[in-house]
Structure 1
Amino acid sequence: MVFNSEERKSSYADYLSWGEGERIEMIDGEMIRIPPAHFRKHQQVLRQLSIEFSLFLRASEGEAYFAPFEVRLQSEKKADDEVYNFVQPDLTVVLDSKKLDEKGCRGTPDLIVEILSPITVKLDRWKKFQLYEWAGVKEYWIVDAMNESIEVYVLDDQQYVVYGVFTREETIQVPTLKGLEIDLNQIF
């Protein structure tokens, strides 16, 4: 999946110069190809979560975006050639509209959801987990669509702690969005 490990670090500006093509993410200047979702369940779960978050956020400031949507982490005061971490999460929630521009999110979003696939398990559970923790993403969800479960992590003193592991018959009270409850029967 990685194809730039021995060369110099690539930046977001480099990526922009390559033109349209495949989905790519970058972690610490290392380019990573993002494979397409290969199963229908992934898309169903993403659609349902997008609906839940979007409907809730209609009544408040904030927006939910689904992939492809570029998130340039820790980039608020940096030029594109100084940005070495950008991702395209399955779902991104941004509460501060000042972080949004025409390219996506310039800065750290409030909540990120990644839906596992066989190819991305290690990336989502290890590299992205560490990246999102480092960047200060307040809440990170890892969704296992095939096993119908969601792991929710919340940032506490710059480290993720497990908020809970939820299955189909449960309801999640979303920590970052007070008042939002998601019935997982509606998601899975």
Structure 2
Amino acid sequence: MKKKTYAELVKESPVTYEMYANMEDDGNRYEISDGVLELMSPSPAFIHQFICHKMQVILDGGCRNEFIILAAPFDVILSDTEVRQPDLVMIHMSRTHIISNRGINGAPDLVVEITSKHSLKRDKLTKRNVYAKYGVREYWIVDPSNFTLEQYELREHYYELVDVYSGEETIRSRTAPCVSFSMDELVRGLPSLPEKLS
């Protein structure tokens, strides 16, 4: 069977995980949003990657005995027509059965998105609704523009904003009690970079 390109698949509806998994690799990253194939934003900025790596190291240091912590890119297959690639996920050791070679089949316990100007609306609205719908217990949105972390917990089928952390405040989680760090700790060592190289 001939692999389809993004241009061919984007015209089809609904796009399923099987179609997405068998598409031609063009070096880009995609998600499936309610059966629609979406090209993800440009490659993440340095600050995004710095925060993502540092957070994974911190979470792994405190939670590795209880959780599997994974960083993108990998597929979180919430349904046949809803496939996401969060920046970080935590999956409790009692639920490792949802992990396979192709990705995560179902809702992780905790999902982290590090937002950018390109993804702000998608992270705060679309993804928040999707993660709640499919039962992700806790959702964090990290905003590098003001070094804050918004913490949402699942209540029935919607998220409630539990806290907004900044500075030296210790971030805690009912979903993952092993979590204990601050935004200051997360961004410590972040170099200041010029906007553009001349």
TM-score by length of 1: 0.88
Secondary structure at the residue paired with 1:171? Answer: coil
> Which has the higher relative contact order, 1 or 2, with Cα contacts under 8 A spaced 6 or more apart?
1
Which residue of the other structure, out of 45, 59, 67, is the alignment partner of 1:39? 45
CA gap 1:133/1:177 in 2 versus in 1, 3 angstroms: same
Which residue of the other structure, out of 75, 81, 84, is the alignment partner of 1:84? 81
Distance 1:89 1:122 in 2: 15
CA gap 1:37/1:164 in 2 versus in 1, 3 angstroms: farther
The equivalent residue for 2:34 is 28
CA gap 1:20/1:57 in 2 versus in 1, 3 angstroms: farther
Shift of residue 145, structure 1, vs aligned partner: 0.9
Q: Deviations over 1:67-103 (max 9, x none)?
A: 1011001x4xxxxxxx000100000111110000001
Structure 2 runs not aligned, ≥5 long: 1-6, 188-198
The equivalent residue for 2:22 is 17
Q: Deviations over 1:26-75 (max 9, x none)?
A: 11101111124442111111011111222223222x201111011001x4
Which residue of the other structure, out of 33, 55, 65, is the alignment partner of 2:61? 55
Distance 1:38 1:117 in 2: 8
Q: Kindly indicate whether the alpha-carbon contact (under 8 Å) linking 1:112 and 1:141 is maintained by their aligned counterparts in 2.
A: yes
Pair 1:8 & 2:13 matched = yes
The equivalent residue for 2:4 is none
The equivalent residue for 2:107 is 108
Q: Kindly indicate whether the alpha-carbon contact (under 8 Å) linking 1:63 and 1:93 is maintained by their aligned counterparts in 2.
A: yes
Q: Kindly indicate whether the alpha-carbon contact (under 8 Å) linking 2:132 and 2:154 is maintained by their aligned counterparts in 1.
A: yes
The code of the aligned residue for 1:94 comes to I
Which residue of the other structure, out of 67, 70, 76, is the alignment partner of 1:65? 70
Distance 2:31 2:61 in 1: 28
Structure 1 runs not aligned, ≥5 long: 76-82
Calculate the aligned-residue CA RMSD, in Å: 1.8
Q: Which runs of at least 4 in structure 1 moved beyond 4 Å after TM superposition? A: 3-6
Distance 2:140 2:43 in 1: 17
Percent identity (aligned)? 30
